[in-house]
């Protein structure tokens, strides 16, 4: 397929029922981003901005789509969609500050260009990984649908982005859930320098909608009247009959992927062809020919926009460079949260299993939070593979207890979209191992959103994990260290039913993203007296399970029970046993107090040795409390291998078999 095959022949303008004033407003909306870009290109050459992704030649798409939507409908643009921001009336001074990394921007200097969102203008910006915003749009649209609001959501991607798995997952979810999402593909012929002939084989990207049962259309993306009128027509229909629609908008970018790329990779005849189809020049000619615009009026519009640009740039230029503030940098990693501890009069307790405590926390949280949604594979009628949500569909309905396709990435992104649009979301990983298929949106979207532009991610991801049940390499990992390394994520890992219930309830209340680890080997083996009522336990507080003066064992999860079993048969080993319960935030005070008290430390984890959480805790103790130590800090971890299936091999893998000897040697040191 030639990379010329997506060409359009000419621009044929049809005003339909649009009044003169509307036609002129569309022209001014087209001009504004073009004139801003021309200013930005000058500033880039002067070194006053660091990077620029040009949308010259593509303005009709961003402007047409935005103008066709209602002002309170969300749009998720790309980095060439300046017309989205200007059409929504975002102040230019704030945009200029954003591009120069100044405080008046939207990210406090923490991110660049269009990598930001603003609830005020209902714009949710992209991240460099492109794909996740498609699933986020699904979540925003789902929230509208759950509230029975006649609203649609528009999300942009480029033709190159349609090759990402997120694109296919997001379309599939939108299709099976009938979500009112406009999937807008800006087909400009190249993914950076790679032509469409090397990216896909279908003739039109709109044809991909057929595979998902999605209505699709191919539109001339350089014709502002066609874009505006068709999108407006479809949007009206989608509000009444909620469904996804895929729109391919054919266009061309007249500058490189970004300015440093240049355009030498583009054949000269192709550049000349599209130059003739410039969306602004052609529309201007049409308006002049129709007597709707005069040259004098045109010059006045240009002058007025340039005056606005110059004033905004002057304002931004006079703004001081952003100042560093270590306290706010650290504080803004997480959204503020003040947990209100519940103290009900009811004190009844029931002896239940770990798995029952998880189910109880979910059940009571669904009663408490009417905006709570649970998503996952087989979580509805089947009750999940561990039957934790059995009966939930009958109580809360399929709108809130949602079976999902097997697409971890899109479902995590959908959870983020729900949070953006006022909901709380829980995602159940069928097994913690499968989270690798949704890794990108967790560590690059959920974790960074509040730090970048102040948007919390009210999402809990439940992670059934752990070895000891003969599940083999793909169903046994305890992979918490993947996430403790990422600022912006909270990581919880309880060992007892009462902790699991209180910590899960607190995690659901917390507006920050939480990875909640549930050890499968504890599900049906550990019982405890657990309060029947709703209660919460603050994240970041460890539990001192045993008190002693000879050594400290610091651990979490299933190894807590290894230790209790061992210490029961060795009462003479007087040790502090600390259950961390939460790995992020970490209870440094509990660690400090125990280390100073005993002077000897054993750090125990089920995880494999290299790079686990205990490595950092070991470094912390050695750096901060070295003078209190009477022995080297000892770590005990499982083997640095994948987790084997056969029972005898799994037993060898786990650190449990070495625990007694390790503690004995530490005490004797």
Which amino acids are annotated catalytic? Answer: 475
CB within 8 Å of 52: residues ≥ 6 apart: 37, 40, 41, 44, 113, 258, 259
Question: ω into residue 585 within 30 of 0, thus cis?
Answer: yes
Burial 304-321 (b: 16+ CB within 10 A, else e): ebbebbeebbebbeebee
Element (H, E) at 401: strand 401-403
Token pair recorded at residue 562: 């290894």
Residue (of 227, 92, 305) closest to 297 by Cα position: 305
Beta strands in 131-255 (DSSP E): 153-158, 181-187, 190-191, 194-195, 215-220, 245-250
Q: How far is CA 273 from CA 30, 98, 279, 590, in A?
A: 21, 34, 13, 69
**Residue 519 pairs with which residues in a beta bridge?**
465
Question: Residue 29's Cα: distance from chain center in Å?
Answer: 31
Beta strands in 159-239 (DSSP E): 181-187, 190-191, 194-195, 215-220
Question: Residue 452's Cα: distance from chain center in Å?
Answer: 12
Q: d(Cα 438, Cα 135) in Å, to the nearest integer?
A: 11
- The answer to whether residues 362 and 504 touch, using CB atoms and an 8 Å cutoff, is yes
Token pair recorded at residue 345: 């009069």
- The answer to whether residues 438 and 412 touch, using CB atoms and an 8 Å cutoff, is yes
Q: d(Cα 312, Cα 14) in Å, to the nearest integer?
A: 35
Strands of 424-428's sheet in order across? 401-403, 372-376, 424-428, 459-465, 514-519, 490-492, 582-584
- Residue 554, exposed/middle/buried by CB under 10 A (0-12, 13-18, 19+)? buried
Using DSSP, how many helices (H) and how many strands (E) does the chain show?
24, 23
CB within 8 Å of 92: residues ≥ 6 apart: 36, 86, 308, 309, 312, 313
Question: Phi and psi for 530 in degrees, rounded to 5?
Answer: -125, 135
Q: d(Cα 424, Cα 411) in Å, to the nearest integer?
A: 13
Q: d(Cα 154, Cα 152) in Å, to the nearest integer?
A: 7
Q: d(Cα 496, Cα 504) in Å, to the nearest integer?
A: 12
HSE at residue 299, side-chain half, CA atoms within 13 A, is: 3
Residue (of 500, 595, 619, 473) closest to 557 by Cα position: 500
Question: Residue 555's Cα: distance from chain center in Å?
Answer: 30
Residue (of 473, 387, 398, 456) closest to 422 by Cα position: 456
- The answer to whether residues 478 and 515 touch, using CB atoms and an 8 Å cutoff, is no
CB within 8 Å of 545: residues ≥ 6 apart: 560, 564, 577, 578, 579
End-to-end Cα spacing for the chain? 73
Q: Report the SS3 class of residue 576.
A: strand
């Amino acid at each position: 397929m030639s990379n010329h095959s997506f060409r359009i022949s000419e621009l044929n303008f049809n005003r339909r029922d649009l009044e003169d004033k509307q036609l002129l407003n569309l022209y001014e909306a087209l001009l504004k981003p073009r004139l801003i870009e021309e200013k930005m290109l000058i500033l880039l050459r002067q070194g006053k901005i660091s990077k620029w992704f040009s949308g010259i030649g593509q303005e009709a798409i961003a402007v047409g789509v935005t103008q066709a939507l209602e002002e309170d409908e969300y749009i998720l643009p790309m980095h060439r969609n300046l017309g989205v921001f200007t059409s929504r009336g975002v102040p230019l001074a704030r945009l200029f500050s954003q591009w120069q990394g100044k405080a008046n921007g939207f990210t406090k200097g923490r991110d660049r260009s269009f990598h930001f969102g603003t609830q005020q203008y209902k714009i949710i910006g992209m991240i460099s990984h492109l794909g996740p915003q498609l699933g986020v749009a699904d979540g925003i649209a789902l929230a509208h649908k759950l509230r029975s609001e006649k609203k649609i959501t528009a999300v942009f991607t480029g033709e190159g982005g349609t090759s990402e798995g997120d694109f296919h997952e997001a379309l599939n979810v939108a299709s099976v859930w009938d979500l009112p999402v406009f999937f807008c593909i800006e087909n400009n012929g190249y993914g950076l320098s790679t032509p469409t002939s090397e990216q896909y084989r279908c003739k039109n990207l709109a044809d991909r909608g057929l595979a998902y049962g999605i209505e699709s259309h191919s539109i001339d993306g350089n014709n502002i009247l066609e874009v505006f009128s068709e999108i407006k027509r479809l949007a009206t229909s989608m509000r009444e009959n909620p469904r996804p629609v895929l729109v391919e908008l054919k266009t061309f970018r007249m500058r490189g992927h970004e300015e440093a790329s240049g355009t030498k990779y583009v054949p000269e005849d192709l550049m000349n062809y599209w130059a003739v189809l410039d969306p602004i020049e052609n529309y201007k000619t049409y308006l002049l020919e129709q007597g709707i615009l005069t040259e004098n009026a045109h010059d006045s519009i240009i002058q007025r926009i340039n005056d606005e640009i110059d004033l905004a740039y002057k304002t931004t230029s006079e703004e001081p460079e952003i100042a560093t503030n270590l306290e706010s940098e650290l504080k803004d990693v997480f959204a503020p949260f003040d947990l209100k501890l519940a103290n009900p009069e009811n004190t009844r307790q029931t002896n239940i299993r770990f798995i029952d405590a998880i189910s109880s926390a979910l059940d009571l949280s669904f009663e408490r939070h009417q905006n709570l949604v649970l998503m996952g594979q087989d979580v509805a009628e089947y009750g999940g593979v561990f039957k934790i949500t059995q009966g939930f569909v009958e109580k809360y309905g399929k709108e809130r207890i949602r079976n999902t396709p097997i697409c971890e990435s899109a479902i995590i992104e959908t959870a983020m979209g729900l949070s953006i649009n006022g909901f709380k979301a829980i995602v159940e990983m069928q097994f913690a191992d499968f989270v690798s298929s949704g890794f990108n949106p967790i560590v690059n979207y959920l974790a960074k959103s509040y730090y970048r532009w102040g948007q919390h991610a009210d999402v809990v991801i439940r992670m059934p994990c752990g070895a000891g049940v003969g599940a083999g390499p793909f169903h046994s990992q305890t992979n918490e260290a993947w996430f403790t390394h990422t600022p912006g994520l909270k990581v919880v890992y309880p060992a007892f039913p009462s902790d699991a219930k209180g910590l899960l309830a607190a995690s659901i209340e917390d507006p920050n993203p939480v990875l909640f680890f549930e050890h499968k080997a504890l599900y049906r083996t550990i019982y405890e007296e657990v309060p029947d009522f709703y209660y919460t336990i603050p994240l970041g507080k460890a539990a001192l399970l045993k008190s002693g003066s000879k050594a400290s064992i610091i651990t979490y999860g299933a190894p807590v029970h290894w230790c209790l079993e061992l210490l029961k048969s060795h009462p003479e080993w007087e040790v502090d046993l600390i259950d961390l319960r939460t790995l992020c935030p970490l209870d440094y005070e509990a660690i400090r107090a125990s280390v100073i008290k005993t002077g000897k430390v054993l750090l125990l984890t089920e995880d494999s040795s290299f790079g686990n959480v205990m490595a950092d805790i070991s470094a912390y103790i050695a750096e901060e409390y070295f003078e209190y130590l009477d022995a080297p800090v000892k770590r005990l971890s499982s083997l640095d291998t994948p987790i084997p299936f056969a029972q005898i091999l799994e037993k060898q893998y786990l650190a449990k078999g070495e625990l007694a000897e390790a503690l004995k040697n530490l005490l004797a040191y």
